[in-house]
Amino acid sequence: SKTSDALSSFLVTGIYRFQNPNAIFIDPVRILNRSYSRFRISPSAYYTRFFDSNPTHSSAPDPGTKEEESSNPKKRRRKEPKRRVLNEKELPAEQRHQKVMPLLLEAHGCLLGATDLLKIMRGLKEESVASSEEEDNGEFQKAPDEVSFIQLGKVWQAPLYDVTLHSVHLRELSEHEVKKRVVPVFNNLVVNETKGDVEAEFLNRKYIMPGESSFYMILLFLFSFSDTWKSDLGQIQNLVPDQSDYGFNLIMVDPPWENASARQKLRYPTLPNRYFLSLPIKKLIHRDGALVGLWVTNREKLLNFVERELFPSWGVSFAASFYWLKVKADGSLVSDLHLFHHRPYECLLLGYCHGQDGDSKELSGFYPIKNDHIIISIPGDYSRKPPVGELLLEHVPGLKPARCIELFARELFGGWTSWGNEPLHFQNSRYFLRN
Ligand code: SAM
């Protein structure tokens, strides 16, 4: 039957397609693991929240959603009255919300109707037990704490730090040879050219790089007079290709938007909106053009800024909005859909950009993107976005395989380039098991 087909393909790909073509459920762990060879992401290290059996592990809410507050009884008092009169500023946001609500409810209905999937969801966090697991857990528990890449900006020697890459090469007669390479870790494009995983050693920690992934890690500097972290966004220039056919066809951006949440400030530094105007998106584009995906929070002011200023300044024309609907392991929404400041969804704005010499030409080689797709998943760590790149590939212009980059990344993807101040963050070996 159709539903059992959907389930068996989900078990392989991590993507569950409902009958409703606008809704999809994904398991980020399964999707990501398809690009690893010798390692795999540990589901229990990915799913640190929203599995009820482990409530102590739930951490701070995501920006713009504050999802836990609605389910935390102590904070119930702060719940907004449902029929509060909205002020002039809130009204447009509410109208936007009212427009997407039926779509979100419909998508959520699909999930609640997929009983076979719901059964599996509760177990998504459990490891599939591998024979070598005990030994691996031992190894990884000894791994020291995470490095705060943000704090490294305080260390004057940091620009000189190296990373050691260990890659495994298959030789004849199934013999293996481990090759070692030492390269600068900051302000340098570090590339895993092999199809297999590379173990990268940095400051006594181990990081796993999936096949054909690259990262460009920048250092943030502390401006002591303002006590804020700044970087020279101009450093992105180093990724600008010399030739237009080396540019990117898919560009995902998840900027450190400023947010009222005090908690967020502790996790990573943020930047005022105007800084993002100077990102040289146009220069990063492949000459066949690109699809640009931008994660935004549910703030009307921000959405207006993107529509009226940011996309135009990047040369991006708006094409579609996708929504990421966040659910718990039992299939329920992470927060009430009706709460004004606690939305259980985030928005991904998508647009097309022409390449340098293609301004007049039509973009080609892709299925035009449709509006209002809903992607449902159980969130991972604070502010970590689900890996939606693969779902977008059919909408990417130009020759295949597409060249893909993520800006402000905290993780690596097979075949992608990741740029940011902490692209190795979720690559720490403590998030992985050995196959
Ligand atoms: N997409 C990521 C994920 O799924 O995990 C989350 C990205 S988070 C919203 C924004 C990132 O931008 C953080 O890693 C933050 O440290 C970084 N960042 C903050 N200020 C920055 C700056 N001035 N230059 C570059 N990156 C910066």
Asked if residues 287 and 241 have their Cβ atoms less than 8 Å apart, the reply is no
pLDDT of residue 174: 76
* Strand spans (E) along 71-227: 162-171, 175-184, 189-191, 198-202, 205-209, 214-217, 221-223
Across the range 343-349, mean pLDDT stands at 96
Distance 393 CA to ligand 1 centre (A): 23
Does 4 have pLDDT greater than 50?
yes
Please state, as a whole number, how many other Cβ atoms lie within 10 Å of the Cβ of residue 354: 21
Cα(419) to centroid(ligand 1), Å: 9
Residue nearest to atom 6 of ligand 1 (CA): 384
> Out of 189-203, 239-253, 261-275, 326-340, which region has the weakest mean confidence (pLDDT)?
261-275
Whole-number pLDDT of residue 254? 97
The pLDDT assigned to 93 comes to 87
Token pair, residue 55, equals: 């409530």
Q: Whose CA is nearest to atom 9 of ligand 1?
A: 256
Give yes or no for residue 395 having a pLDDT over 70: yes
At 62 the pLDDT is 52
DSSP string, 331-382: S-BSS-TT-TT--SEEEEEEEEE--TT-SSSPP-SSPPPPS-EEEEE---ST
Tokens found for residue 361: 């030409």
H or E segment to which residue 434 belongs: strand 432-434
Give DSSP secondary structure letters for 205-244: EEEEE-TT-EEEE---EEETTTTEEE--GGGGGGGS-SSG
421 lines ligand 1 (CB under 6 A): yes
Closest atom of ligand 1 relative to the 233 alpha carbon: 24
Q: Is the CB of 296 under 6 A from ligand 1?
A: no
Please tell me the predicted confidence (pLDDT) of residue 342. Answer: 83
Distance of CA 256 from the midpoint of ligand 1 (Å): 5
CB of 97 sitting under 6 A from ligand 1: no
**Does the interface ipTM go beyond 0.95?**
yes
Residue 358 confidence (pLDDT): 61
Q: Is any ligand 1 atom within 6 A of the Cβ of residue 46? A: no
Measured from the CB, is residue 254 less than 6 Å from ligand 1? Answer: yes
> Among 17-21, 114-118, 167-171, 413-417, where is mean pLDDT lowest?
167-171
Q: How far is the CA of 261 from the centre of ligand 1 (A)?
A: 16
CA angle 205, 209, 214 (to 5 degrees): 115
Nearest CA to ligand 1 atom 10: 256
Residues 377/392/20/8 CA torsion (nearest 10 deg): -70
Bridge pairing between strands 162-171 and 23-26: unpaired
Which residue lies with its CA nearest to atom 5 of ligand 1? 384
* Ligand 1 and 220: CB distance under 6 A: yes
Q: Which residue's alpha carbon is nearest to atom 16 within ligand 1?
A: 268
Tell me the average pLDDT of the chain.
85
Tell me if 385 CB under 6 Å of ligand 1.
yes
Supply 344's token pair.
Answer: 């259980």
Give the residue from 317, 296, 297, 295 showing the smallest Cα distance to 308.
317
Lowest mean pLDDT among 100-114, 143-157, 299-313, 405-419: 143-157
Please give the full DSSP string across 388-405, using - where no structure is assigned: -HHHHGGG--SSSSPPEE
Q: Is the CB of 40 under 6 A from ligand 1?
A: no
Tokens of 121: 């969801």
Task: Kindly indicate the confidence band of residue 173, based on its pLDDT and cuts at 50, 70 and 90.
Answer: confident
Ligand 1 centroid, distance to 235 Cα (angstroms): 14
Residue 22 one-letter amino acid: N
What percent of the chain shows pLDDT beyond 90? Answer: 60
In short, whether 383's Cβ falls inside 6 Å of ligand 1 is yes
Label residue 341 by pLDDT band (50, 70, 90). confident
Is the Cβ atom of 268 under 6 angstroms away from ligand 1? yes
Answer whether residue 27 shows pLDDT above 60.
yes
Strands 290-296 and 345-353: antiparallel
pLDDT at res. 167: 94
What is the per-residue pLDDT for 368?
Answer: 84
- Ligand 1 atom closest to the Cα of residue 150 is 16
Protein residue with its CA nearest to atom 15 in ligand 1: 268
Does 408 contact ligand 1 (Cβ within 6 A)?
yes
Residue nearest to atom 22 of ligand 1 (CA): 231
Burial (0-12, 13-18, 19+ Cβ within 10 Å), 289: buried
- Token pair of 294 as six digits: 């931008």
Tell me: pLDDT of 16 over 90.
Answer: yes
Strand partners, 80: none
Report pLDDT for 82: 58
The pLDDT tens digits for 354-368 are: 987 666 567 877 888
Residue with the smallest CA separation from ligand 1 atom 3 is 384
Residue predicted with more confidence, 155 or 34: 34
Tell me which residue has tokens 């800024």.
305
Answer yes or no: is the C-beta of 231 below 6 A from any ligand 1 atom: yes
Give the end-to-end CA distance of the chain in Å, rounded to a whole number: 33
CB 333 within 8 A of CB 399: no
Mean pLDDT of all residues in 4-29: 96
Instruction: Encode pLDDT of 374-386 as tens digits.
Output: 999 999 998 999 9
For residue 154, what pLDDT is reported? 74
Tens-place pLDDT, residues 223-269: 555 555 555 666 677 777 766 668 999 999 999 998 766 555 567 88
How far is ligand 1, taken at its centre, from the CA of residue 155, in Å? 19
Residues found in the chain: 435
Mean pLDDT within 315-333: 97
Cα distances (Å, whole numbers) of residue 55 to 3, 4, 49, 390: 32, 32, 7, 31
CA distance 176 to 171: 6
Decide if 31 contacts 14 (C-beta within 8 A): yes
- Answer whether residue 156 shows pLDDT above 60: yes
Segment 108-155, tens digit of pLDDT: 999 999 999 999 999 999 876 554 444 444 444 444 567 788 888 778
Q: Quote the ligand 1 centre to 169 CA distance (angstroms).
A: 33
In the numeric block, which tokens belong to residue 308? Answer: 């009226």
What is the pLDDT, as a whole number, of residue 169?
86
Where residue 353 falls (left for φ over 0; alpha for ψ -120 to 50; beta otherwise) is: beta
Report, as an integer, the average pLDDT of 209-215.
97
Ligand 1, from 421, 422, 425, 428: best to mutate by most atoms within 8 Å of Cβ? 421
